[in-house]
Amino acid sequence: MRIALDAMGGDFGASPNIDGAIAALKDNPDLQVTLVGDQPTLDPLIAKSGYSGGRLHLYPAEGWVEMGEKPIEALRSKPKCSITVCWQLMATQQVDAVVSAGHTGAVVAAGLRTRLFLRGVKRPGIAVALPTTKGKTVLMDVGANPGARPEHLVQYGVMGSIYSREMFGVDRPSVGLMNIGSEDGKGTDVVRESHSLFSQSVFKDRFLGNVEGRDLYTGAADVVICEGFVGNVLLKAAEGLAEMMLKTVAAEVLGALNAEKALAMQAFHNLAKRFEYHEAGGAPLLGVDGISIICHGSSTSRSIQNALRLATTLKARRLNEQIIDELSREPSTSMV
């Protein structure tokens, strides 16, 4: 497995990327990681790490996209920046996957510019797995395609279902369409037309219809589909709520305990792990010809290590081959 890692991506500079890559290499003897970034910055950090096991390579790039920059403008002004070079390496089949904790918009935009889509895919989408009372719910799309059309959403249903099945063992994932109400006929024109297409899709027997935001964490559906604007708002709101709730519980509950405090702290730690993005590593951009994992900007070395592991797992499960096969049987893929 060959992975290009955007070594300049993330809030904490190159160090977490290098440390995460080295940890992943130690875990997986079949892994090769190419660090893409500013060579004068990376060379001393690699030397300082003391890693000498091979399979860690450096590919120079010129600049990177800062978190505050506009993605399209940044990519135009920096044609050889780290994330663009990562995608070029995958487009020329020099690597099998791209992993980045950099600017999400830039990661997606750089990928879209390559037109490196799987056969039949009209728009890639980002899938995240959210914890629920019943296990995991896959939410897609959470930001890659804010202006999705109905046929895009149906394709997300296909891709999200495959992801749920392969990663979380759900044999026949149920699919819901995010809406402002559960009744048919509600929502925007795009959502209403999407509902009609879902009802005629290859997984129409597993389509539950509309679901609301409050259903997301009850496990009402194994896969929940929405356009990227809605999904990104949902995800960011969930992150903020989870952080607030965990801090509140820690202050109110743990602060009031004495004898059982150690046990309670361990239970709290176990609970917190269910919500930490570090454990997942990142979210896949499904629908590209290759594998792309988008990590949180605040990723630690553990996040990067887990993201590299996720990329390896997706390739081993042959996710892309399954997406191509199932989309070939989906009527909406012939739509413009």
Q: What is the pLDDT of residues 255-292, one digit of tens each?
A: 656 556 566 666 556 655 555 555 668 999 999 999 99
Mean pLDDT, the chain, rounded, equals 90
Question: What is this structure's pTM?
Answer: 0.90
| The residue to which tokens 């970034």 are assigned | 37
CATH architecture of 128-277: 3-Layer(aba) Sandwich (3.40)
Residue 28: both structure tokens together: 């997986």
Tell me the percentage of the chain whose pLDDT exceeds 70: 88
CATH architecture of 2-121+287-321: 3-Layer(aba) Sandwich (3.40)
2-121+287-321 and 128-277 in the same fold: yes
Residue 105: both structure tokens together: 């918009």
Beta-carbon contacts of residue 18 (< 8 Å; ≥ 6 apart): 7, 35, 42, 45, 46, 49
**Angle 320-33-38 from CA coordinates, rounded to 5°:** 115
Q: List strands edge to edge, sheet with 136-140.
A: 56-60, 32-37, 2-6, 97-100, 291-294, 283-286, 125-131, 136-140, 223-225, 175-178, 207-211
d(CA 157, CA 225): 6
Q: Which stretch of 9-18, 243-252, 317-326 has the lowest confidence by average pLDDT?
A: 243-252
Task: Output the pLDDT for position 335.
Answer: 44
Domain range list for the chain: 2-121+287-321, 128-277
Mean pLDDT in residue range 183-190: 89
* pLDDT of residue 39 exceeding 90: yes
* pLDDT of residue 56 exceeding 50: yes
Residue 333: both structure tokens together: 């893929």
Q: How confident is the model at residue 75 (pLDDT cuts 50, 70, 90)?
A: very high
